[in-house]
Amino acid sequence: GGISKDATTGAVSVPIYQTSTFEQNGVGQPKEYEYSRSGNPTRHALETLIAELEGGSHGFAFSSGLAGIHAIISMFGPEDHILLGDDVYGGSFRLLDKVFVANELSYTIVNASDLSTIEAAIQPNTKALFLETPSNPLLKITDIEAAAKLAKKHQLLTIVDNTFATPYFQRPLALGADIVVHSGTK
């Protein structure tokens, strides 16, 4: 694992590739990279390292943590229901409350530290438990392993915002979570 030297230059740190396009073999014959919007070596290195730090199989980089959360919540459709920890980042709450509710996605706010509250809020159309621990701004703690075990019992995805703890202090995937998201700007 880790970072290996750049094969082209021998640089021991990943270079920042600022190009928008990459050379192609011909029309409709892209090489590994075509346009930076769909991938570039710098972003690929970042995504690979974050996945490695988290113990995950894949990593995806976005322009902000909230953009990553938007992508995750976009997996759910109209009529789906999500359980939302009562002290998640305000931007996450507003995204769900103002954008996704308009698309008929519903949610219930739960005390994510109380498993009986979580279980009581599960509905037939509940698809996920979204929590943040430590939470922002009150630094509430949720037992990720216990919450993920309960979620799995009900076939729910467990999504953890791990911005404050980072994978240095907490690895939600190892504790049973299915998806982890970070904001790199905190």
Per-residue pLDDT of the chain (186 residues; tens, 9 = 90+): 556 677 778 888 888 889 899 888 888 887 888 888 888 988 999 999 999 999 999 999 999 999 999 999 999 999 999 999 999 999 999 999 999 988 899 999 999 999 999 999 999 999 999 999 999 888 999 999 999 999 999 999 999 999 999 999 999 999 999 999 999 876
Could you tell me if residue 19 is inside a domain? yes
Same domain, 106 and 75: yes
Note whether 160 and 101 are same-domain residues.
yes
89 and 142, same structural domain? yes
State whether 73 and 85 are in the same domain.
yes
Tell me whether residue 100 is in a domain. Answer: yes
Token code pair at residue 70: 């938007």
Q: Is 153 a catalytic residue?
A: no
3-state SS record for the chain: CCCCCCCCCCCCCCCCCCCCECCCCECCECCCCCECCCCCHHHHHHHHHHHHHHCCCCCCCCCCHHHHHHHHHCCCCCCCEEEEECCCCHHHHHHHHHHHHHHCCEEEEECCCCHHHHHHHCCCCEEEEEEECCCCCCCCCCCHHHHHHHHHHCCCEEEEECCCCHHHHCCHHHHCCCEEECCCCC
Same domain, yes or no, for 38 and 100? Answer: no
Q: Is 186 a catalytic residue?
A: yes
For residues 5 and 74, membership in a common domain is answered with no
- 161 among known catalytic residues: yes
Number of domains the chain is built from: 2
Residue 97 is assigned to a structural domain of this protein = yes
Q: Do 11 and 69 lie in a common domain?
A: no
pTM score of the predicted model: 0.90
What's the confidence (pLDDT) of residue 58? 95
For 55, the domain range is: 1-61
Pick the catalytic residue from 33, 43, 89, 107.
89
- Are both 21 and 81 inside the same structural domain? no
37 flagged as catalytic: yes
Please tell me the predicted confidence (pLDDT) of residue 2.
59
Q: Which of 31, 37, 98, 168 is catalytic?
A: 37
Residue 1 confidence (pLDDT): 55
